[in-house]
A and B are shown apart, each in its own frame.
Chain A
């Protein structure tokens, strides 16, 4: 029988030598690690400061509410829907600083309904001032060139014409943000500074078909707060919408289903992509608003995965009927 070299026994001296060598190796590795370790991290003295947390502007002690106003005239349905929830004073108080997050994604005219309708922006700004708001800001980080988008969509003229301040996205307004309990919004640049000193946030979006996500409504509209190469999120669009809804807790949302883009969204292009659905949805629950909006596109909420995902994340309820929505007609 031949002896196995692996089974050769060590004597005491060899064992001690080997142990010493192993100890030196471990100590060398630790020293190298310590040498590379940078407790301060990269110098960011000139960089925006990392932010953590939510953009939470939900109104304390206010039950979830929803109103659905039927009619063709946006101004009339907006007023009626808000009135049916107790009036604008329920949501906006004296000296509030209000931010309207509109959808100004494309440099397209209002008639194509790819962006928030300027009449709606104008009415909302006036309502806020009527309630005593000290300042109203309108902002978005559009897909196309911001100047063209705000101008051609009519949003800039409508906002300024009614006394609001329009904030274009600029580099220095973005900050890296990490949102707890989200998958994708980790250390990602977000249009953050316009929210400084803001006390109320209102999300305003049209009802649209969307080639990737199935629909673009209130929750998808927060996408316009992202900076960087955000198009990578299209690969996981349902998750990013859920994350965005987790990130922003608005005071109120206005979902414009007066005319819905039922096909070829989110850009559309032809008037035949649109359908007069004649609904204005106002709610404090963005998930419920989108769940109802889905029906205007001929879909059920369960056909849009981001709705159930947002509900599971605790953002709101997909069962909009549970809110006993007030239904009114002009």
Chain B
């Protein structure tokens, strides 16, 4: 009779080695993880975030370099710097809006002008990396009663605050109360910041692709990610329209190629259908247009060359069709044949 050891095949030997190696890796991992005790429980010293958030890796003068103050303004507190890992320590639940739009760094400081009793203001400068990213967070928070300021291409004020985009920076200056006197000081600070931090004027080329007819003024926005609840829709420009008192939205996004745009249009249609939408047939002049009825509104989705475009939240199909056609024609007019 043969000895059992002589009957082992090379495959068996190899399999055994693989199994033993896997077990060793698992054992080693468990051994290492054993020493990683939950720091939240066993290191009470680290439970609270530090009061000052200036990371050591930054050049010590970087905050001051960006946040130079014009004469007459007095710091109430030192400037603070926040980065991606601790942005929520400053703005809590709103951090995701900035992080998803390419946030780099926030510098903030409280100031007073020394003239307006008991009123102070806080300036927040968000470095968003690019002008488009800065425009995204600016447009997402645009206030309805915004009064254009003309400080930059995108700037406005409300009764107690100034909001603007300057190159890659999104800037907020917020007063602790409404006062025209303090507003003058805030405006001086904004002008000084723009003068001292020279950058290229940003261009939102997509604004020209939206038809002007029925468009609500200053309604163009950029949604950086997860647009309309669909995680594949990013970098979506939107604009609001009013037709016979009904509000509806047009949107578009450059996807790199017509194939990509086509694929995303179908995927978004499927997403809507999965969430209770009904795909319907409709006679449209737009090739490859997809129509969905959802929650008593109409959506038209279509590829237009490398652009994904569409209309949503239309109260009726007729208005959706009119706006979609206008959008389609405008894109073709601007970018030419494709």
If A229-B40, A267-B91 touch, does A5 touch B7 (CB 8 Å cutoff)? yes
B89 with A231: CB separation less than 8 A: yes
Contact between chains at A231 and B178 (CB < 8 Å): no
Chain A residues closer than 8 Å to B163, beta-carbon distance: 270
Q: Does A10 belong to the interface (CB within 8 Å)?
A: yes
A47 contact set on B, CB distance < 8 A:
41-42, 44
Residues of B within 8 A of A109 (CB): 176-177
**CB-nearest residue of chain B relative to A216?**
B93
Which residues on A sit within 8 Å (CB–CB) of B88? Answer: 143, 231, 234
Is the beta-carbon distance between A143 and B41 smaller than 8 angstroms?
no
- A186-222 interface mask toward B, CB cutoff 8 Å, 1 = contact, 0 = none? 0111000000000000000000001111001000000
B58 at the interface (CB under 8 A from A): no
B228 to chain A, nearest CB (A): 16
Give the chain A neighbours of B4 by CB distance below 8 A: 8, 10, 14
CB-contacts of A262-279 with B (<8 A): 263-267, 269-273
A148 to B110, CA, bound (A): 11
Is A171 an interface residue, CB under 8 A from the partner? yes
User: A297 on the interface (CB 8 Å rule)?
Assistant: no
Q: Which of B42, B93, B146, B159 contacts A212 (CB 8 A)?
A: B93
Partner of A272, one of B40, B42, B97, B159: B159
- Measured CA separation A36–B30 after assembly (Å): 11
Q: Which residue of A lies closest to B96 (CB)?
A: A212
Complex Cα–Cα for A271 and B89 (A): 23
Bound CA–CA A162/B97 (angstroms): 39
Q: Which residues of B contact A272 (CB under 8 A)?
A: 143-146, 158-159
State whether the Cβ of A48 lies closer than 8 Å to any Cβ in chain B: yes
> How far, in angstroms, from A211 to B94 measured CA to CA in the complex?
5
User: Is A171 a contact of B45 with CB atoms below 8 Å?
Assistant: yes
Q: Bin the interface of chain A by size.
A: 35 or more
A211 near B158 with CB under 8 A, answer: no
B95 touching A234, Cβ below 8 Å:
yes
B8 to chain A: which residues have CB within 8 Å? 5
Q: Does B174 contact A (CB under 8 A)?
A: yes
Q: Per-residue 0/1 for B46-84: is the Cβ within 8 Å of any A Cβ (1 yes, 0 no)?
A: 111001000000000000000000000000010000000
Chain A residues with Cβ below 8 Å from B42 are 42, 44, 47
Q: CB of A236 within 8 A of chain B?
A: no
A112–B160 CA distance with the chains assembled, in angstroms: 10
Query: Across the interface, do A8 and B48 meet the contact criterion of CB distance under 8 Å?
Result: no
Known: A187-B41, A272-B144. Contact between A267 and B47, CB under 8 A?
no
How far is B47's CA from A187's CA once the two chains are assembled, in angstroms? 13
Pick the contact of A211: B40, B97, B160 (CB < 8 A).
B97
A residues 244-296 near B (Cβ < 8 Å) are: 263-267, 269-273
**A176-B7 in contact given A109-B176, A228-B47, A271-B178 (Cβ < 8 Å):** no
Specify which chain B residues have a CB less than 8 angstroms from the CB of A171 in the assembled complex.
44-45, 47-48
Which residues of A sit under 8 angstroms from B280, Cβ to Cβ? Answer: none
Please name all residues of chain B whose beta carbon is closer than 8 Å to the beta carbon of A231 when the two chains form the complex. Answer: 88-89, 92, 95
Query: B interface vs A, CB < 8 Å?
Result: 1-2, 4, 7-9, 34, 37-38, 40-42, 44-48, 51, 77, 88-97, 122, 141, 143-146, 158-161, 163, 172, 174, 176-178
The 3 closest A-B pairs by CB, nearest first: A5-B7, A109-B176, A228-B40
Interface, chain A (partner B; CB < 8 A): 5-6, 8, 10-11, 14, 36, 42, 44, 47-48, 50, 105-106, 108-109, 111-112, 141, 143-145, 147-148, 152, 169-172, 174, 176, 187-189, 210-213, 216, 227-229, 231, 234, 237, 263-267, 269-273
> Please, could you name 8 A-B residue pairs with CB atoms under 8 Å apart, sorted by A?
A14-B4, A44-B42, A47-B42, A108-B176, A143-B92, A227-B40, A267-B91, A270-B160
